[in-house]
């Protein structure tokens, strides 16, 4: 294959689930040139669910495909470009972000990672046939209400399996739990285990794993194999909930952004990953609740973060690191009186140099990432001196005399403190 095509965007979003689509809506409304890359199906995991009953605004519920198509339509309205392709590689550097697909290399000022995750499956016989809407579910919060009066099976004995299984007893007639361990051993916390063992609606199949799934259009039976005796026992069930783990789609980003022990991406509340210009949102990040409502909320925060980051880096490149004059950059805080008092003095100094010096004033709290680009933890009243776009000197807590002394070393035509400021 020849050389790959090269394209440039303000923002590239990886993943077209609820988080990626919400981020796209915010980027589109901010008029950022934005591309969203999706490898399988626009809408993400939520397209696999029949009814979403807990997304605000739809009191009668809405199907996953319908809801995510609305998200997609709204993002299209704001001019987002979409491509169905699998991202194969990424490279994040301080000054550049590169995303590679089969045919193209994209260069982006901001990357938003919204690749979500996937539930871990048992890989037992016929499992594929019944996944999602056909009887095998991975989400009690989503599908519990549909289990009213039914017999359900839960696979697993970790915190999620036992806590979600206990929650399901509020709806289901009977909850049968397949546990791989000897009675009464489980992988969950003791409180959940004791509550489950005491729950009259829960029963346990100890030392078992799934041998196969059976049914017609939908699941009818789960065959459990006893690991000690080898015996296979059929259980007639309406739904089977698998809680044997959830895996984030983060293989691409290993070693490139910070991750938790379980390989979820770690972000702060602003969805920043710690790599400048790289955000992560939705199920892919380490967090407490993985639902559509939290994914879109993350996406909104990431979209706004992208807009702010681009505005600040544009200012940084064009204004602050300008090469025409000697730069005088002043960081102040709107809530710090002494740093505000120095502001008019800074302006006087700039005009005293008669066009040789360019002053840029930065409010520390409103320009967070810009301050980071200048050097982490800058204090109010920090002064930077730049020549040809390079920072040559940084000083904290300056006065007029010392600022002029420093500028005089840099300009062609120095000024006299006494003459200029009588």
Please give the residue ranges that form the binding site for ligand FAD (CB under 6 A). 14-20, 37-41, 44-46, 48-49, 52, 54-55, 86-87, 114-117, 119, 132, 137-139, 142, 249, 252, 282-284, 290-293, 295
Both structure tokens of 35: 């591309």
For residue 349, give every residue at least 6 positions away whose Cβ sits within 8 Å of its Cβ, in sequence order, or none: 328, 357, 359, 400, 403, 404, 407
CB of 220 to ligand FAD, least distance (A): 19
DSSP state string for 3-39: PPEEEEEEEEEE--SHHHHHHHHHHHHTT--EEEEES
Comparison of 119 and 380: residue with beta carbon closer to ligand FAD:
119
CA distances from 170 to 151, 159, 174 (A): 12, 18, 10
- CB closer to ligand FAD out of 227 and 275: 275
State the nearest-atom distance from the C-beta of 330 to ligand FAD, in Å. Answer: 41
Tokens of 201: 């609606």
Comparing CB distances to ligand FAD, the nearer of 20 and 28 is 20
- The residue assigned the tokens 């002043």 is 330
Asked if 69 and 43 touch (Cβ cutoff 8 Å), the reply is yes
d(CA 38, CA 101): 11
Residue 72 or 308 with smaller CB distance to ligand FAD: 72
Q: How far is the CB of 151 from ligand FAD (least distance, A)?
A: 19
Pick 86 or 348: Cβ nearer ligand FAD: 86
Q: What residue has token string 């390079």?
A: 390
> Could you tell me the smallest distance in angstroms from the CB atom of residue 389 to ligand FAD?
36
Q: How far is the CB of 413 from ligand FAD (least distance, A)?
A: 56
Token pair 């019944």 is at which residue? 130
Burial of 334 (0-12, 13-18, 19+ CB in 10 A): exposed
Nearer to ligand FAD, 86 or 148 (CB): 86
Structure tokens at 48: 């696999």
Cβ 337 to ligand FAD shortest distance, Å: 44
Alpha-carbon distance of 61 to 33, in angstroms, equals 34
**Between 109 and 290, CB nearer to ligand FAD:** 290
Q: What is the nearest approach in angstroms of ligand FAD to the Cβ of residue 49?
A: 4
Residue 167's nearest CA partner among 199, 132, 135, 194 is: 199
3-state secondary structure of 64: helix
DSSP 233: E
What is the spatial distance between Cα 221 and Cα 213, in angstroms, rounded to a whole number?
6
CB of 157 to ligand FAD, least distance (A): 20
């Amino acid at each position: 294959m020849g050389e790959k095509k090269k394209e440039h965007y303000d923002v590239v979003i990886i993943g077209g689930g609820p988080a990626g689509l919400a981020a796209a809506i915010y980027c589109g409304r901010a008029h950022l040139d934005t591309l969203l890359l999706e490898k399988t199906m626009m809408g993400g995991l939520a397209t696999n669910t029949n009814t979403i009953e807990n997304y605000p605004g739809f009191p009668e519920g809405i199907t996953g495909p319908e809801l995510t198509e609305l998200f997609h339509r709204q993002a299209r309205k704001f001019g987002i470009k979409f491509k169905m392709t699998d991202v194969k590689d990424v490279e994040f550097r301080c000054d550049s972000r590169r995303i590679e697909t089969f045919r193209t290399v994209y260069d982006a000022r901001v990357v938003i990672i919204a690749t979500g995750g996937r539930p871990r499956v048992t890989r037992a016989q016929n499992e594929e046939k019944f996944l999602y809407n056909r009887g095998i579910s991975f989400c009690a919060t989503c599908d519990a209400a549909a289990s009213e009066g039914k017999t359900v099976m839960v696979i697993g004995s970790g915190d999620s399996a036992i806590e979600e299984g206990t929650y399901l007893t509020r709806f289901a007639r009977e909850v049968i739990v397949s546990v791989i361990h000897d009675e009464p051993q489980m992988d969950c916390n003791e409180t959940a285990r004791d509550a489950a063992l005491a729950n009259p609606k829960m029963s346990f199949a100890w030392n078992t794993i799934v041998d196969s799934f059976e049914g017609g259009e939908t699941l009818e039976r789960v065959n459990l194999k006893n690991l000690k005796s080898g015996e296979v026992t059929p259980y007639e069930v309406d739904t089977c909930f698998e809680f044997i783990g959830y895996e984030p789609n983060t293989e691409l980003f290993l070693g490139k952004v910070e991750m938790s022990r379980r390989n979820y991406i770690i972000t702060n509340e602003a969805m920043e990953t710690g790599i400048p210009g790289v955000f992560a949102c939705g199920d892919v990040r380490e967090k407490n609740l993985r639902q559509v409502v939290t994914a879109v909320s993350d996406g909104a925060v990431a979209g706004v973060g992208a807009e702010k980051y681009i505005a600040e880096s544009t200012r940084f490149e064009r204004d602050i690191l300008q090469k025409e004059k000697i730069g005088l950059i002043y960081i102040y805080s709107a809530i710090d009186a002494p740093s505000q008092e120095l502001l008019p003095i800074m302006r006087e100094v700039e005009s005293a140099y008669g066009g040789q010096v360019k002053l840029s004033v930065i409010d520390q709290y409103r320009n967070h990432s810009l301050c980071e680009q200048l050097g982490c933890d800058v204090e109010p009243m920090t002064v930077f001196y730049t020549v040809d776009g390079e920072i040559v000197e940084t000083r904290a807590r300056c006065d007029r005399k010392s600022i002029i002394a420093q500028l005089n070393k840099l300009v062609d035509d120095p000024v006299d403190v006494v003459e200029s400021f009588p």
